[in-house]
Amino acid sequence: MIRVVTADPHTMAQLGYAAALDADPELDLVGQAGHAAPARQLVARQRPDVVLLDLDLPGVDGLGLGALLRADLPHVGLVLVGPPDDRLLLRALRQRFSGYLARTAGVESVRGAIHRAALAPTNFAAPDFDATATQRLAPAALSPRETQVLRHLYVGANNAAIADSMRLTESTVRTYLARVYDKLGVHSRAEALAAATEHGLL
């Protein structure tokens, strides 16, 4: 049996998960939560094989809670559920989720994602991981200035230091950073550095 916990703030979604899992004799729904804190406690208590996390979970979003759970339980299957969005899918990939599932996915896709996550929790899979998403793995080329800003980030410089070194205003530095984030498909400095390292940009 694959033990499953679902964390979703919507009652109808929780009912849908319960019905979908009940129809599969290999899946055992051992708990449901609608908020990040009780979800983490539930996972710690039940030690499931797979956890489905909605992106919009209150308290800590699905990505954040997934990072905490991955630190607590390195071999648990983690599936992030959210809108059909390649950027979110790639963030889930980079944050070591087992998979990404669109909220519009059918029952068979939900069950399939759970089975895959239980079988190979460290191998990312997503039904919608198509050519569009694959193309996004290769970031758009950074301009020389954007690359320079990225290298300053790598050595730990803050915006003021970057502006001073490059003889720019801090506002211009923020603009360059926004472009770098957009091209790499990330939302923070740490993610930018991880993605840049992954693609050999540093």
What pLDDT is attached to residue 128? 59
Q: Report the C-alpha gap between 56 and 88 in whole angstroms.
A: 12
pLDDT at 30 over 60: yes
Instruction: List the single range of 45-54, 95-104, 118-127, 149-158 with lowest mean pLDDT.
Output: 118-127
68 vs 123: which has the higher pLDDT: 68
Domain range 138-198, CATH architecture: Orthogonal Bundle (1.10)
What's the pLDDT score for residue 132?
A: 45
Q: Are 7 and 44 in contact (CB under 8 A)?
A: no
Of the candidates 65, 104, 98, 64, which has an alpha carbon nearest to the alpha carbon of residue 84? 104
pLDDT mean over 17-23: 94
Q: What pLDDT does 197 receive?
A: 75
Span 2-133 CATH architecture? 3-Layer(aba) Sandwich (3.40)
Residue 77 one-letter amino acid: G
The residue extents of the domains of the chain are 2-133, 138-198
pLDDT at 96 over 60: yes
The pLDDT of residue 131 is 46
Q: What is the rounded distance in angstroms from the CA atom of residue 76 to the CA atom of residue 74?
A: 6
Fold match flag (2-133 vs 138-198): no
Q: At what angle do helices 144-154 and 159-166 cross, to 10 degrees?
A: 130
pLDDT of res. 124: 83
Write the pLDDT tens digit of every residue in 2-13.
Answer: 999 999 999 999
Mean pLDDT value across residues 100-112: 91
On the question of pLDDT at 182 being above 70, the answer is yes
DSSP state of 100: E
CA distance linking residue 66 with residue 103, whole number of Å: 17
pLDDT band (50, 70, 90) for residue 136: low
Per-residue pLDDT, 134: 47
Give the global pTM: 0.67
